[in-house]
Structure 1
């Protein structure tokens, strides 16, 4: 699988990464098959978070013997069972230590602040916690995970090595808002939700369902290539990874065969420039002022 240098870091990351949000409620055997198949298919990046159920613990149990085979990203900021308020600096310190214990490792490659607001970022305390973790060898790099103007401020601080943010055919705000700034600062860029939850494949969603916003936007965008679900997945994934500056896209799945299938979709490489520009133009013609990045 193609690899790209992750910004100014020394990491060469696979263009697809494993998103650990969906495995938090799975059994150990299932996760072992999922992660094993991902690494065997050439993925070398696993992304998780403190609030993804048992995700960190299951990764730590099933991949204890393969730590040198992948880069490991996690996030902090939410209490998730610890007796502190979200974003309390003491919470962050304890959360990082808990993550390392769960992940069965002495360090992670990147710790991201998990959707931290600009207001909290401006205080500086949470950033300092990550800097101290880096100084202590608990993480090699530090990053910000989030969207909208919060992400823009995080990028503009110049203090982060990595940006993890939403980008797909139904969520393109970051291309106009944060991308150029992040690229100019040499940040590694990870795209979240790169296929928009394949929302077009469903007849409807309840308004409270997370994919509903993407589904509703896609009704208005009316991309012709979505008429065929599988072709739509291919175009959507290639669109995200064709965006200049994006290094990797994290995908979650419960299907061990998905990685080989996704790798095959990407064999054609980047989208033709005319199709890429058609998707961008359609977005600019259709997107409302409230079509912001989905955190």
Structure 2
């Protein structure tokens, strides 16, 4: 598994990471997660990303691979109360959330804590950033970051406070390729991409049941990429390789509760970066079709 230097940090990250949302929301069993993450770590995975609001995701990760903490970089997020009797984004809640995440994950520190979709207005006020800075000073996290898209993400980059950016990039979500990632790269920030295959919104040939993917389905219906007519594995591989071919991207996190899926996705990357001609064609089609309101999806 290829590894890339993560911005100006000391981390060398696997290009394919793991996103913990689905194991939490689908309430995967510890046995499923142990098989999924254990086999992935053995195959070269070294980035696991989760969040405070992904149901039981943090607990499952801590329970199943906490004993292998030295084998991977651990990212989590904070911002949503999710069980606390306190408003979102208040400093007291953020501090409690970070401590709870460490307890759930069975670790003394995480490698990155990202602010989870924080608005530009809150970022400008500064209190939420100060909470993360204190957590870093206290050794609860090695680096701090922002997770989000569009203009709030651009402000987070330009304010100079963060080491890491987590943002959406895919064949159906390309705003960040010009708006934020070049600036993040210029400033030496690590870049982790979420939703890198646009939830494979095309996989059934009809609008997905999951409303989260409807925006991607609608966009892809207009983009009409030829390669989406290929075998599903081939089209998913093309989509994933496109995202990882974007300059400035170091790792892409794909979420699954299927114990075999991470290994299957890893095999799709064996062909290496997407051929430049195909990458350019996907970018050109986006620029031709994308509407002004097709902004990054959170």
TM value normalised by structure 1: 0.98
- Structure 1 gaps, min length 5: none
Aligned residue pairs total: 295
Point out 4+ residue stretches in structure 1 off by more than 2 angstroms: 202-208
CA distance in 2, matches of 1:209, 1:241: 25
- CA shift, 1:204, in A, is 2.7
Match of 1:267 among 251, 265, 270: 270
**Cα contact 1:169–1:239 (8 A) shared by 2:** yes
- CA shift, 1:206, in A, is 6.4
CA distance in 2, matches of 1:128, 1:26: 35
Any residues of structure 2 matched to 1:216-231 within 5 Å, and which? Answer: 216-228=218-230, 229-231=232-234
CA RMSD of aligned residues (A): 1.1
Which residue in 2 is equivalent to 1:192? Answer: 194
**Cα contact 2:174–2:286 (8 A) shared by 1:** yes
CA distances 1:207-229 after superposition (whole Å, capped 9, x unpaired): 87111110110011000001022
**Cα contact 1:38–1:256 (8 A) shared by 2:** no
CA distance in 1, matches of 2:259, 2:63: 18
Which residue in 2 is equivalent to 1:239? Answer: 242
Which residue in 1 is equivalent to 2:97? Answer: 95
Secondary structure at the aligned position of 1:129 is classed as helix
CA distance in 2, matches of 1:172, 1:207: 23
CA distances 1:72-130 after superposition (whole Å, capped 9, x unpaired): 00000000000110000110000000000000000000000000000000000000000
Query: Mean alpha-carbon deviation: is it higher for 14-23 or for 37-46?
Result: 37-46
CA distances 1:53-77 after superposition (whole Å, capped 9, x unpaired): 0000111111121000000000000
Query: Mean alpha-carbon deviation: is it higher for 92-101 or for 197-206?
Result: 197-206
- Structure 2 gaps, min length 5: none
TM value normalised by structure 2: 0.97
CA distance in 2, matches of 1:261, 1:143: 29
CA distance in 1, matches of 2:38, 2:275: 33
Which residue in 1 is equivalent to 2:114? Answer: 112
Any residues of structure 2 matched to 1:1-295 within 5 Å, and which? Answer: 1-24=1-24, 25-205=27-207, 209-228=211-230, 229-295=232-298
